[in-house]
């Protein structure tokens, strides 16, 4: 049933990469995400949160269209940005979708060149995305999917202000938030842009 909810190219890429059996979080959330609902996914480490975001983006976008990104993925640091980017590159096999990741440790000029060449999915830290937005006129007008991975880590890097500015700069789009726990800090982090989401929680 899980693969029947995905396009054939994505289902094949999952199989090639040994992802045959979906995790509980994916089983419970993919159909709701495919239906266009805003989703908050709650689960521990290794429950498939990042993979769910990547699958959802590939399923929603399917192929490259133009230069401006259509999915914006926020992560807390360089390691997570590169990890999500690598996973995207594996699972987008058979499509022409593009991904760029940006983070504070890299040279912003070089990153801006990559973004301006065109990308479908932009992965990055809130601070660096904001810098691209204001300094390099990053076009966010085409965003269809806005996701935050490991949202519980965002207050630790003082990302509230940057996330508020980004979220309020986006057009109407789908929102995904994945977190280890839905505590008061996470609720505060997302309250300005996510309304009446589907909340899905798994224990493993």
**104-162: per-residue pLDDT in tens?**
987 899 999 999 999 999 999 999 999 999 999 999 999 999 999 999 999 999 999 99
DSSP character at residue 74: E
Name the pTM for this structure. Answer: 0.94
pLDDT of residue 2: 61
Beta carbons of 159 and 141 less than 8 angstroms apart: no
Q: Is the pLDDT of residue 6 over 90?
A: no
Rounded average pLDDT over 180-196: 94
Those residues whose C-beta lies under 8 Å from the C-beta of residue 112, and which sit 6 or more positions away, are 132, 135, 136
Question: In DSSP terms, which residues pair with 99 in a beta bridge?
Answer: 121
User: Which pLDDT tens digit goes with each residue over 153-187?
Assistant: 999 999 999 999 999 999 999 999 999 999 999 99
The answer on pLDDT for 21 being more than 90 is: no
Express as a percent the part of the chain with pLDDT over 90: 83
**Predicted confidence (pLDDT) at residue 3 exceeds the cutoff of 80:** no
Would you say how long the chain is, in residues?
204
- Give 3-201's CATH code, choosing from 3.40.50.11540, 3.40.50.2020, 3.40.50.12500, 3.40.50.300: 3.40.50.300
Average pLDDT over residues 181-202: 94
pLDDT higher at 23 or 3: 23
Asked if pLDDT for residue 1 goes beyond 50, the answer is no
Domain spans of the chain, in order of start: 3-201
Phi, psi of 73, rounded to the nearest 5 degrees: -115, 120
Rounded average pLDDT over 9-14:
89
Query: Which tops the pLDDT comparison, 36 or 204?
Result: 36
Name the token pair of 161.
């202000």
What pLDDT was estimated at residue 5?
A: 74
Mean pLDDT of the chain: 93
More confidently predicted of 95 and 20: 95
Name the pLDDT band for 4 (thresholds 50, 70, 90): low
Which residues are paired to 41 by β-bridges? 178, 200
């Amino acid at each position: 049933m899980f693969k029947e909810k995905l396009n054939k190219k994505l289902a094949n890429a999952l199989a090639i990469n040994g992802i045959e059996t979906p995790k509980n979080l994916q089983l419970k959330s993919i159909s709701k995400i495919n239906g266009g609902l805003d989703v908050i996914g709650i689960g521990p480490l290794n429950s498939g949160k990042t993979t769910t975001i990547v699958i959802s983006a590939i399923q929603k976008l399917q192929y490259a269209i133009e230069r401006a990104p259509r999915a914006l993925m926020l992560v807390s640091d360089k390691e997570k940005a590169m990890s999500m980017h690598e996973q995207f590159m594996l699972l987008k096999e058979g499509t022409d979708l593009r991904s760029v990741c940006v983070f504070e440790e890299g040279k912003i000029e070089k990153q801006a060149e990559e973004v301006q060449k065109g990308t479908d999915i932009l992965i990055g830290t809130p601070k660096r995305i904001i810098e691209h937005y204001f300094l390099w006129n990053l076009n966010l007008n085409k965003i269809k999917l806005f996701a935050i991975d490991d949202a519980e880590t965002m207050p630790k890097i003082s990302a509230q202000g940057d996330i508020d500015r980004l979220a309020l700069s986006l057009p109407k789009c789908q929102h995904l938030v994945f977190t280890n726990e839905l505590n008061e800090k996470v609720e505060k982090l997302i309250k300005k842009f996510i309304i009446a989401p589907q909340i899905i929680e798994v224990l493993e």
